Amino acid sequence: MKTLTERYKEVIDEYAKEFGYATEIDGKLSEDYSKFHTEEYGSFTIDEIRYIVDHEDMLHKKYANIGREVINWFECVMECVEFGLHTVGLQDWLEGNQRPTPDERAHIRAIRDHLNREIERLNEVI
């Protein structure tokens, strides 16, 4: 008879596989089975993976490509952290909750780029 830990690991392995199928994002589980690590997109919690797998049918109706939407969320979070903006969790993102729009993020990037050019220009003359 399998221990509860062994059964838990089997279930989490299945969730990780289904997450990979649903999103086309490759990765591997951490040794303690608490995170799903990817090369490009950091780590996902087991709760994030479970949400996507458990709501896959609904998400496919809402998004043409769940994996692309997860990547959009990841990219937005990275920019929000860089800009000092509040971030939104993956589940909130997929549910359509408030977040910076692509136009708002593009505007902030343009301001940042302008500021960086001005700093470079000043450093050249000082």
Q: Which residues contact 62 (CB under 8 A, 6 or more apart)?
A: 94
pLDDT digits (tens, 9 = 90+) for 53-100: 999 999 989 998 999 999 999 999 998 998 888 889 999 999 988 888
pLDDT digits (tens, 9 = 90+) for 108-125: 999 999 999 999 999 999
Give the chain's domain count.
1
- Do 39 and 27 contact (CB within 8 A), yes or no? yes
pTM attached to this predicted model: 0.80
**28: domain range?**
4-125
